[in-house]
Amino acid sequence: MADGPPLRPCLDLGTALIATQEVGAAHLPEALTAQFLSRLQTEIEHLPYEPLPDQIGPVRQNADLFIARGGMTEVPAIAELRDCLVRRLTDDVAAANTLTGWWPNEAYVQRYPPGSFGVSPHRDSVQFTQLIAVFTTQGRARFAICRDRSGTDRLTEWQTAPGSLVLVRGVVSGHPPNRPFHTVDGPTDAHVPRFSVTYRMNTHRDT
Ligand SMILES: O=C(O)CCC(=O)C(=O)O
């Protein structure tokens, strides 16, 4: 049962959302409350993960994946965080009128073992609309916005850590597509796997 809000009450989602829309991405180092972070990590620790394919087109990746969809009833902390994130974006944030109807119907839970190289530079698919929200729940890794797929020119780079949130711009209806190339390195710490939970609204699905 819930015993505290997932997101820190003082979180400045407004500034982060405007930055995401203007420059493509934003980083909030401390987004989750400590209590909720612990609950979320416990929930995702032993999900039935499947290894991601090593390569999809030009994108190389080294992680395990579990996807929760629709009502997400099997993962109540993930569902609760989704509700809270959407509520905070729509109630608290003036710029949220540009996020009309954003309802993430998918949560991608990724586990990066120590020694993984992460995910090479890529853009999220066009079916993921408006916003992509990436929470780190355990471990640390460099997350970078890149000029192009080569990844040689990192425009912005952050250290993700437990409780942090990265927002990435998705496709916005009526605007030219300008999804940023981004990449995440493998876990920074040699013995600690990294876990992330990424919320996406997949327009190719009904729920
Ligand atoms: O695990 C992450 O930090 C996000 C990885 C990513 O960019 C993706 O799955 O598209």
Please give the single-letter amino acid code of residue 97.
N
Q: In the predicted model, what is the mean pLDDT of residues 12-38?
A: 93
Helix (H, G, I), strand (E, B) or coil at 48: coil
Helix (H, G, I), strand (E, B) or coil at 34: helix
**pTM of the complete model:** 0.95
pLDDT tens for residues 33-80? Answer: 999 999 999 999 999 999 999 999 999 999 999 999 999 999 999 999
Angle, alpha carbons 29-6-114 (nearest 5°): 55
pLDDT at residue 178, rounded to an integer: 86
**Nearest ligand 1 atom, CA 182:** 7
By most ligand atoms within 8 Å of CB, the mutation choice from 126, 198, 200 for ligand 1 is: 198
pLDDT at residue 95, rounded to an integer: 55
pLDDT at 2 over 60: no
**Residues in contact with 46: Cβ distance below 8 Å, sequence separation at least 6, in sequence order:** none
Ligand 1 pocket: which residues have CB below 6 Å?
110, 119, 124, 134, 143, 182, 184, 196, 198
Please give the single-letter amino acid code of residue 58.
P
Is pLDDT larger for residue 158 or for residue 95? 158
Kindly list the distances between the CA atom of residue 9 and the CA atoms of 5, 12, 78, 79, 97, in Å, as whole numbers in the listed order. Answer: 8, 9, 18, 18, 21
Helix (H, G, I), strand (E, B) or coil at 13: helix
pLDDT at residue 207, rounded to an integer: 67
pLDDT at residue 94, rounded to an integer: 62
The kind and range of the H/E element at 195 are: strand 194-200
pLDDT tens for residues 193-206? Answer: 999 999 999 999 87
Measured CA to CA, the distance from residue 109 to residue 203 in angstroms comes to 19
By most ligand atoms within 8 Å of CB, the mutation choice from 60, 110, 112 for ligand 1 is: 110
